[in-house]
Structure 1
Amino acid sequence: MKISRMALLLVLATAGVQAHADENEITGNASQTPVENYTYSTKLDIDKVITVTDIADQCGPVPAQMTYEDSHGQRHVLQYQVMGTGCSNG
């Protein structure tokens, strides 16, 4: 009985460590990727959007970021300006 409990604990601990390592790999890659600033002449090769930041609740242009993979599987972080969501119509 004790051996089966120890084996179950070992399996669960191993699975938890593996899941944590996968999560760190995903977030670690995004933090090491340099941020590129968007301009009108920027050539974009977006194959898959991974994340987009929330838009700030301000009136006027605010920065936003998009993390994406290109057609070669390389990860990019693009910073660009969007209109904030804090403007009222009246």
Structure 2
Amino acid sequence: MTHKTVVAACLFAALNICTLSARAEADVSPHTYTYGTHLDIQKVLSMTEDNAVNCGIIDARMTYLDSAGKTQVLDYRKFADGCNNQN
């Protein structure tokens, strides 16, 4: 095997691993938070929310890893950040 062949094989393997992890993350179905839901959050990967200018309740989503290293998605409702400046 030449040096170029080994490098190409390593690059191909790395791309396959990235593709598999992206596909696995896309297959995760979101769960909706309800009062009393047990949360097993090891590491938060991302948090998104609806854009709201005014104060009110908005939809939000958190993507995280649980203690087993599995990606989880949680949908929940929260007060908009615009509510922070109001009494």
TM-score in terms of structure 1 length = 0.65
Unaligned stretches of 5+ residues in structure 2: none
Report the counterpart of residue 73 of structure 2 in structure 1.
Answer: 77
Report the counterpart of residue 58 of structure 1 in structure 2.
Answer: 52
1:41 aligns to 2:36 (yes or no): yes
Report the counterpart of residue 8 of structure 1 in structure 2.
Answer: 3
1:28 aligns to 2:23 (yes or no): yes
> What is the number of equivalent residue pairs in this alignment?
83
Contact in 1 for aligned 2:59/2:75 (Cα 8 Å) = yes
- Between Structure 1 and Structure 2, whose CA radius of gyration is higher? 1
Instruction: Give percent identity, aligned residues only.
Output: 31
The one-letter amino acid paired with 2:17 is D
| Coordinate RMSD, CA, aligned | 2.8
Q: For 1:63 and 1:22, how far apart are their aligned partners in 2? A: 32
Unaligned stretches of 5+ residues in structure 1: 1-5
